[in-house]
Chains A and B, each alone.
Chain A
Amino acid sequence: TQLLEQSPQFLSIQEGENLTVYCNSSSVFSSLQWYRQEPGEGPVLLVTVVTGGEVKKLKRLTFQFGDARKDSSLHITAAQPGDTGLYLCAGAGGYQKVTFGIGTKLQVIP
Chain B
Amino acid sequence: EPEVTQTPSHQVTQMGQEVILRCVPISNHLYFYWYRQILGQKVEFLVSFYNNEISEKSEIFDDQFSVERPDGSNFTLKIRSTKLEDSAMYFCASRAGQGNYGYTFGSGTRLTVV
Contacts and interface: CB of A to CB of B under 8 A. Distances in A.
Interface of A: 30-31, 33, 35, 40-45, 48, 50, 88, 90, 92, 95-103
A95 to B, nearest CB: 4
A35 B35 CA distance: 14
B75 interface: no
B98 A42 contact: no
Given A40-B108, A42-B107, A96 B91 contact: no
Given A48-B100, A97-B56, A100-B43, A40 B105 contact: no
B104 interface: yes
B81 to A, nearest CB: 25
Interface of B: 4, 31, 33, 35, 41-45, 48, 50, 55-56, 58, 89, 91, 93, 98-108, 110
Contacts of B102: 33, 45, 48
Contacts of B44: 100
B55 A96 contact: yes
Contacts of A98: 45, 103
B100 A96 contact: no
Contact of B105 (A30, A42, A95): A42
Contacts of B4: 42
A25 to B, nearest CB: 13
Contacts of B105: 35, 42-45
A14 to B, nearest CB: 26
A103 B43 CA distance: 9
Nearest to A97: B45
Contacts of A97: 33, 45, 48, 56, 58
A43 B100 CA distance: 17
Contacts of B58: 97
Contacts of B108: 40-42
A48 B45 CA distance: 18
Nearest to A102: B42
Nearest to A4: B42
